[in-house]
């Protein structure tokens, strides 16, 4: 009688379990790598967005600090001995007043032209970007424009403004700081500072 030899080839249960374990491990590595790449790309995009907007804001403040005069106030006691959270500027011709201040995560610019021709507020950062710290440092600390201070040589140089701000979006945040000297240092223009809005109710009117 003729006999036929058959070879039953296949995977054993152990081999299948090992193959599945290798596949699951490899798939997990790929998923983790992809997730990390996506997260890194998102963080990089957020950083670029924050940095671009922050630079635009700083360019605005730098231009104002350079071309306008720091408002020290009307008396000898007015001084900047430390950081302040808001700062007011007046143009050389006395026709424009600009004030920067932090308003619940938004950097607000109040502007007044010629005592009432224009009155309102503009937010320099979008709602997607939060400004959670804003500091201005002014040097010299005492008003160099007052005639009573002319005798003090230490005050007779161009006022310098240093701006520091922290910007945030999601889990990403950056700090920016810059210093700029004013081109106006001989005399403070005369202007009615009551033109500048003092609160949100005035701004919205």
pLDDT in tens, 56-84: 999 999 999 988 888 877 555 556 888 88
Residue 35 lies in a domain: no
Structural domains counted in the chain? 1
pLDDT reported for residue 164: 95
Residue 25 lies in a domain: no
Determine the Cα angle at 49 with ends 86 and 88, to 5°: 15
Residue 181 lies in a domain: yes
Q: State which H helix or E strand residue 131 sits in.
A: strand 130-139
Residue 155, pLDDT above cutoff 80:
no
Model confidence over 31-61: pLDDT tens digits? 887 777 877 788 788 888 899 999 999 999 9
- Give the pLDDT band of residue 150 (cuts 50, 70, 90): low
Q: Coil, strand or helix: which one is 139?
A: strand
Residue 30 lies in a domain: no
Residue 6 lies in a domain: no
Residue 31 lies in a domain: no
Please state, in angstroms and rounded to a whole number, the distance separating the CA atoms of residues 89 and 136: 12
Residue 28 lies in a domain: no
Residue 190 lies in a domain: yes
Structural domain that includes position 54: 44-204
Burial class (CB in 10 A: 0-12, 13-18, 19+), 110: buried
């Amino acid at each position: 009688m003729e006999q036929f030899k058959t070879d039953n080839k296949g995977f054993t249960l152990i081999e299948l379990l090992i193959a599945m374990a290798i596949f699951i491990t490899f798939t997990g590595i790929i998923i983790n790598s992809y997730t990390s790449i996506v997260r890194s790309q998102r963080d990089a995009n957020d950083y670029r967005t924050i940095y671009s907007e922050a630079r635009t804001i700083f360019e605005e403040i730098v231009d104002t600090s350079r071309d306008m005069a720091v408002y020290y106030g009307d008396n000898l006691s007015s001084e900047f001995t430390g950081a302040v959270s808001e700062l007011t500027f007046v143009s050389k011709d006395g026709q424009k007043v600009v004030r920067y201040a932090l308003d619940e995560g938004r950097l607000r610019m109040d502007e007044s032209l010629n005592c009432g021709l224009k009155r309102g507020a503009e937010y320099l950062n979008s709602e997607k970007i939060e400004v959670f710290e804003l500091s201005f440092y002014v040097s010299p600390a005492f008003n160099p424009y007052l005639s009573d201070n002319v005798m003090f040589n230490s005050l007779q140089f161009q006022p310098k403004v240093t701006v520091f701000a922290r910007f945030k979006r999601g889990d990403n945040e950056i700090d920016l700081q810059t210093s700029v000297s004013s081109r106006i240092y001989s005399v403070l223009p005369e202007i009615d500072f009551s033109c500048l809005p003092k609160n949100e109710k005035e701004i919205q009117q």
